Amino acid sequence: MTEKISDLLTDMYFTVDDLDGSYGTGQVIRPAADGIYFVRFDGTEVTLPLELASLGEMLETTDEGYKLWRFFDTLEERAKWIEWLDAPSKPRVVSLVKPTK
């Protein structure tokens, strides 16, 4: 490869949703070929093997249109997203009773 592949995903951190409701995290390492990237999922202690992910995979959505992959510039941004994602939701009570005088 004499021509450098231009990309914006190298060194980005990501979360990827699984259909069972769980998610994985990792980092895009570098381009492998046009439209294909080496990615490393967190929890993999060895430097190799890296996994391959295509842009098509990274752009997939659920049947409802939600993105499966989300990208972040820094670990801190991803950590904030995960904190929000894992936080228990707070129930909201809306009163439908008209107040009396």
In a domain, residue 5? The reply is: no
Residues 6+ apart with CB under 8 A from 70: 14, 15, 16, 81
Quick one: tokens of 20? Answer: 């069972």
In a domain, residue 34? The reply is: yes
Domain count, the chain: 1
d(CA 9, CA 31) in angstroms, rounded, equals: 8
In a domain, residue 45? The reply is: yes
Query: What pTM, to 2 d.p., does this model score?
Result: 0.74
pLDDT tens per residue, range 41-69: 988 666 667 899 999 999 999 888 889 99
In a domain, residue 50? The reply is: yes
In a domain, residue 27? The reply is: yes
If residue 54 lies in a helix (H) or strand (E), which one and from where to where? strand 51-54
Q: Which of 12-21, 28-37, 47-56, 74-83 has the lowest mean pLDDT?
A: 47-56
In a domain, residue 93? The reply is: no
